Amino acid sequence: MTAPQPLRVTEPAPAVAAVPAPRAHPRLTAKRLLDLGLGVALTLASLPLLALIALMIRLDSRGPVLFRQQRIGLAGQPFQIVKFRTMHVLEDGADVVQATARDPRVTRLGRLLRLSCLDELPQLLNVLSGEMSLVGPRPHAAAHDDFYSARIPNYLYRQNVRPGITGWAQVNGARGATPLLSDMQARVDLDAWYVDHASLALDLRILARTPWEVVSRRKAC
């Protein structure tokens, strides 16, 4: 089987110039209070699980427990996302290959963590720091942002809000790998809809739907 090739941008498409720079929305106090209150509660409640997963990663494969990678957040600001390590490699920078089904880079434990979305739990730290929200468009690797923003005209519109651990796209089935450009376009369209309709009520609705989405679909987060 041919190994997946990294995404590389050679010549930016002209459409990029037509995309307006993301505009930072004013901080919504209620949303931030929800992030802080629920974020602290979830972090404290999951401490035993976090410790258990960290130990299992140590026993399962060589490498660090946590994986950090540069992502792009609100108004194009870069930050380091924190996840449990699920692969034998720690890719970052210009060449980042999307994970695929039966990807040989994924560890035995990593496969389970990705299907259950438990690898995302450390991102609660990103939420508490204000780099992410509980709900918002999922942040992609910076290399993927370069690739897709050159090919999808409304791609950068998703950066008008803080990225999230879960989002409108994820509870509507648009999560996991995006092997076709149309797959990413469908996700971006859902993210754009969220940007236009974001509210505390919608966030609560998405949070309520997320556990069912995780257990009912056999796709990585």
Sign of CA dihedral 159, 212, 58, 103: negative
- Residue 108 in domain: yes
Distance, CA of 194 to CA of 204 (rounded, Å) = 13
Q: How many helices (H) and strands (E) does the chain have?
A: 7, 4
User: What is the structure's pLDDT at 23?
Assistant: 46
C-alpha closest to that of 178 among 119, 88, 97: 97
For 189, counting Cβ atoms within 10 Å of its Cβ (0-12 exposed, 13-18 middle, 19+ buried), the class is middle
- Residue 35 in domain: yes
User: What is the structure's pLDDT at 218?
Assistant: 61
Q: What is the mean pLDDT of the chain?
A: 86
Distance, CA of 192 to CA of 42 (rounded, Å) = 27
User: What is the structure's pLDDT at 202?
Assistant: 96
List of residues 6+ apart from 179 with CB closer than 8 A? 98, 100
- Residue 2 in domain: no
User: What is the structure's pLDDT at 11?
Assistant: 38
This prediction has a pTM of: 0.82
Distance, CA of 177 to CA of 184 (rounded, Å) = 9
- Residue 5 in domain: no
Q: Rounded to 5 degrees, what are φ and ψ at 164? A: -130, 165
With left for phi above 0 and alpha for psi between -120 and 50, is residue 76 left, alpha or beta? Answer: left
- Residue 100 in domain: yes
pLDDT digit string (tens) for 121-150? Answer: 999 999 999 999 999 999 999 999 999 999
- Pair of tokens at residue 144: 């993927």
What's at 17, amino acid-wise?
A: A
User: What is the structure's pLDDT at 28?
Assistant: 61
The yes-or-no verdict on residue 177 having pLDDT over 80 is yes
CB 111 within 8 A of CB 105: no
Q: Count CB-CB contacts under 10 A for residue 11.
A: 6
**Domain interval for residue 158:** 26-216
- Scan for tokens 């979305």, then name that residue: 117
**79-101 burial: b if 16+ Cβ within 10 Å, else e:** bebbbbbbbeeebbeeebbbbbe
- Residue 115 in domain: yes
Bridge partners (DSSP) of residue 69 are 81
- Residue 14 in domain: no
- Residue 58 in domain: yes
pLDDT digit string (tens) for 78-121? Answer: 999 999 999 988 777 667 777 776 788 999 999 999 989 999 99
Helix (H) or strand (E) holding 80: strand 78-84
Higher local confidence (pLDDT), 82 or 5? 82
User: What is the structure's pLDDT at 220?
Assistant: 66
Domain count, the chain: 1
User: What is the structure's pLDDT at 221?
Assistant: 67
pLDDT digit string (tens) for 201-212? Answer: 999 999 999 999
pLDDT digit string (tens) for 11-35? Answer: 343 333 334 444 444 446 899 999 9
Higher local confidence (pLDDT), 97 or 157? 157
